Structure 1
Amino acid sequence: MSGSLSFGAAGTARSDRTHTLFAQTTGYLAATAGLFALGAYAGRGLPGGLGVIALVAAIGSLIGMQVTVRRSTPWTVTLLAAFGVLVGLATAPALAAYAGADPRALWQAGGATALFVAGFGAVGYATRRDLAIVARIGFWALLALIVFGLVLVFVDIPDGDLIYSVLGLVIFAGLTMVDFQRLRRSTDLDSAPLLAASIFLDVLNVFLFFTQIFSRND
């Protein structure tokens, strides 16, 4: 009897930690999205060169979070906030160009992104099958996509930008499911900022892929 009670108490504690992690992660995610919007607005007239510097600094913030996550939660959260602003500054020139050419594409991309992330996120959160293999395939596929993107800079491939965007959406469908499964399975509250950063990157990349597709169709 006592063993059953202990097992039940442990299960309840795990469930509580999972719910707390979900709440913290979504809170960090919302704050990061807000800071991204602030950075994108502030950097709408930013020269492309400074945007690259902001992107490098954002990557540095992510690396710094990996170091501080086990040492200082306040520092990790601070780096997450910096990451949000810096990514906003880095993508501001591209978003401003899309807005100037066709503002409707941004709204269409935003709606499609919300449905995409909600759908694949729900699948990843609900599935009980281990998605570790999807994570490994997604990692290598993402590296291959980056190489393909570099090829497109130098080689004119018919509909290359559309192919790039569709492949990107396929890859991030898998990565989104993986991240939401991690969110359900983890009970490590310290990982909330890192999970928020990972999910935010999923959302941002999906949004940019959809923006490119909808802009192309007009």
Structure 2
Amino acid sequence: MYDTTMTRRAPRASANALFARTMSFVAMTAGLFALGAYLGRNLAHAAGFIAFIGAFVCLIAMRFAATRSREATVALLGAFGLLMGIAVSPTLVYYATADPQALWQAGGATALFIGALGSIGYATDRDLSGVARVSFWALLGLLLFGIVAIFVRIPHSSLIYSVLGLVIFAGFTLVDFQRLRRNQDIESAPLLAASIFLDVLNVFLFFLNIFGGRRD
């Protein structure tokens, strides 16, 4: 008789393995991010900008390396985390000096935000491809709003920017965690980890701006 139990277990085991590997890569990237933030604590803002460009290059290179070398993809993911830590270090140093409590508040809020939205995205069977498209175009709109706000005074623009950013990355978080559940290709773990780490980082920075009490 045909055993359907094994058929059901195979995809589940594959999904569990992918989840474990992806989240281990997220943890690795977060650790290297922390190291980069420590190493870059005394660097000038110009060095942080160069590090940001380097992190962006690593992110693009991962797309090409993913189909060629798993080791190179993982190495690029690690370099991405390290360089992003250096890039964000001036911001973290600023808050650590001006309002250290905001760092803890942003960290706690980020953990709750990602935990809740990630769980929903991982559990839902609803197709979220529409959410992905809307979030992408909304992100472009948010970037445009940020550029306009540099040159045009908009009341509470910083708060508006952060709140809208949280709404947009709520969508990205839902989509990325659903991709994590539906994908069965273990080799996709580094790319999924990069996407989830970016969700976490952006949510943290938006919360940091809110709790930091910046005023327009």
Q: How far apart are the structure 1 equivalents of 2:66 and 2:7?
A: 25
Question: Which residue in 2 is equivalent to 1:10?
Answer: 7
Q: How far apart are the structure 1 equivalents of 2:85 and 2:17?
A: 28
Q: How far apart are the structure 2 equivalents of 1:175 and 1:74?
A: 27
1:24-59 per-position Cα deviation (integer Å, ceiling 9, x unaligned): 001000010000000001101111111111111101
Question: Which residue in 2 is equivalent to 1:85?
Answer: 82
Runs of 4+, deviation exceeding 2 Å: 7-11
Q: How far apart are the structure 2 equivalents of 1:88 and 1:112?
A: 20
Gapped runs of 5+ residues in structure 2?
Answer: none
1:149 aligns with 2:116: no
Question: Which residue in 2 is equivalent to 1:182?
Answer: 179
Q: How far apart are the structure 1 equivalents of 2:77 and 2:149?
A: 32
TM-score of the superposed pair, with normalisation by structure 1: 0.96
Gapped runs of 5+ residues in structure 1?
Answer: none
**Structure 1 residue 217: Cα displacement:** 6.6
1:117 aligns with 2:129: no
Question: Helix, strand or coil: the match of 2:43?
Answer: coil
Amino acid corresponding to residue 100 of structure 1 in structure 2: T
The counterpart of 1:209, out of the listed 193, 206, 209, is 206
Question: Which residue in 2 is equivalent to 1:198?
Answer: 195
CA contact (8 A) 2:158 2:214 kept: no
Question: Which residue in 1 is equivalent to 2:91?
Answer: 94
1:171 aligns with 2:159: no
**Structure 1 residue 11: Cα displacement:** 2.2
**Structure 1 residue 172: Cα displacement:** 0.5
**Structure 1 residue 152: Cα displacement:** 1.3
1:78-115 per-position Cα deviation (integer Å, ceiling 9, x unaligned): 00000000000000011111111100000000000000
CA contact (8 A) 2:22 2:190 kept: yes
Question: Which residue in 2 is equivalent to 1:40?
Answer: 37
Amino acid corresponding to residue 183 of structure 1 in structure 2: L
Alignment RMSD (CA, Å): 1.1
TM-score of the superposed pair, with normalisation by structure 2: 0.97
Q: How far apart are the structure 2 equivalents of 1:29 and 1:172?
A: 17
1:136-174 per-position Cα deviation (integer Å, ceiling 9, x unaligned): 100110111111111111111100000000000000011
Give the percent of matched residue pairs that are identical in Structure 1 and Structure 2. 59
**Count of aligned pairs:** 215
**Structure 1 residue 8: Cα displacement:** 3.5
Amino acid corresponding to residue 32 of structure 2 in structure 1: L
Q: How far apart are the structure 2 equivalents of 1:107 and 1:12?
A: 41
Say if 1:217 and 1:63 are closer, same or farther in 2 by CA, change over 3 A. Answer: closer
Question: Helix, strand or coil: the match of 1:44?
Answer: coil
**Structure 1 residue 9: Cα displacement:** 2.5
